[in-house]
Amino acid sequence: MEIIKQHRWIAPLLSVLIVSILGISLVVESQNAQTTTAAHTANALQWPAATNDEKGQDRSQSMHIMDKTSSSMDELHSWKSLIAPLLIAQVEKAAQTAKNDRSASKQAAPAIGKIKIQSQTPPKKLFFTRTATLTQADQAKATWSYSITAQEVLLLQKIVMAEAEGESYKGKVAVANVVLNRLRSANFPDTIQKVIYQKAQFSPVANGRLNRVRPNEETVKAVNDALSGHKAVPDDTYYFLSLTLADDLTVHHSRAKVKTIGNHTFYK
């Protein structure tokens, strides 16, 4: 579309040039016809009173005028025959370029739409082994599965947004991983809702922030990727906290550290 915008002046300009050329040719032809007619008329009026020599001179002048007019017309037609194909070629080239750009845009649009839909559509079923969350491609290895509802997806997005709004994409994925690791583990509740609302586990539940947040685009993508099996922390990571904001550092002193991502430290 940028190419069309840049060359959209070509067609109007060529149209003006073609019209101008046709107008000029008509004017020249008209003038030449008038000149020839006037010359013939003058000669016809003068010949009866003129001598034979004068008649010969008049005829010679008339023929000269006609030859000059014919030469001018030939030059004009020759010029038109050279310029017209070039103008037509430029018009056809511009039209073909515009057609190709429209075709390319139509071909690219479905691909972009498809990618967008895929990135914002979470899986409807999760697959696990006893110790790992699996990708959709590895579901044949699963020992059990979990059907996730739209309400649970939204709840997971909200807890990630509430806990990691200021964190990077990787930090958001890691928080989602912790929730899913707990869902898989026999040591935690067996639904996403129960995992999130388990007493004294996630501070946004206690302070009401969970109900106020609205997941942004990056959070939605991070959660969908985590649900699809993408991992920012290992499968045995069950805890995280901010060492600068946490009031209770029991986890920090009692659990093995896995890694730090942004302001969050993750533990086994």
Question: Are residues 188 and 114 both part of a single domain?
Answer: no
Question: Are residues 202 and 255 both part of a single domain?
Answer: yes
User: Taking the model in full, what pTM does it have?
Assistant: 0.57
Question: Are residues 179 and 101 both part of a single domain?
Answer: no
Cα 132 to Cα 120: distance, rounded to the nearest angstrom: 24
Cα 133 to Cα 158: distance, rounded to the nearest angstrom: 21
Examine residue 131 and state whether it is found in any structural domain, yes or no: no
Q: How many residues does the chain have?
A: 268
Summarize pLDDT for 174-210 with one digit per residue, the tens: 999 999 999 999 999 999 999 999 999 999 999 999 9
SS3 label, residue 259: strand
Cα 18 to Cα 24: distance, rounded to the nearest angstrom: 10
Question: Are residues 174 and 91 both part of a single domain?
Answer: no
pLDDT on residue 4: 46
Q: How many domains does the chain have?
A: 2
CATH number of residue 175's parent domain: 1.10.10.2520
Ramachandran class of 240: left when φ > 0, alpha when ψ lies in -120 to 50, beta otherwise:
beta
The strand order across the sheet containing 264-267 reads 239-241, 264-267, 257-261
Which of 119, 140, 159 is the last residue before a domain boundary?
A: 119
SS3 label, residue 124: coil
Cα 74 to Cα 40: distance, rounded to the nearest angstrom: 21
Examine residue 240 and state whether it is found in any structural domain, yes or no: yes
Question: Are residues 170 and 115 both part of a single domain?
Answer: no
pLDDT on residue 246: 86
Examine residue 113 and state whether it is found in any structural domain, yes or no: yes
Question: Are residues 251 and 210 both part of a single domain?
Answer: yes
Contact between residue 179 and residue 126 where contact means Cβ atoms under 8 Å apart: no
Question: Are residues 78 and 37 both part of a single domain?
Answer: yes
What sections of the chain are H helices per DSSP? 2-6, 10-46, 52-119, 150-164, 169-184, 192-197, 203-207, 209-212, 217-227, 250-254
Contact between residue 254 and residue 241 where contact means Cβ atoms under 8 Å apart: no
Examine residue 143 and state whether it is found in any structural domain, yes or no: no
Examine residue 53 and state whether it is found in any structural domain, yes or no: no
C-alpha of 43 from chain center: 74
Question: Are residues 13 and 114 both part of a single domain?
Answer: yes
Examine residue 144 and state whether it is found in any structural domain, yes or no: no
Domain that holds residue 225: 149-267
Examine residue 134 and state whether it is found in any structural domain, yes or no: no
Question: Are residues 162 and 224 both part of a single domain?
Answer: yes
- List the pLDDT tens digit at each of the 268 positions of the chain: 444 455 555 655 566 566 566 666 655 565 555 555 444 444 444 444 444 555 455 555 555 555 555 565 565 556 556 555 665 666 576 667 656 656 554 454 333 333 333 456 899 999 999 999 999 999 999 999 999 999 999 999 999 999 999 999 999 999 999 999 999 999 999 999 999 999 999 999 999 999 999 999 999 999 999 999 999 999 999 999 999 988 889 999 999 999 999 999 999 9
Summarize pLDDT for 205-215 with one digit per residue, the tens: 999 999 999 99
**In Å, how far are 68, 132, 166, 185 from 175, measured between CA atoms?**
92, 16, 12, 16
Examine residue 180 and state whether it is found in any structural domain, yes or no: yes
Which of 73, 97, 119 is the last residue before a domain boundary?
A: 119
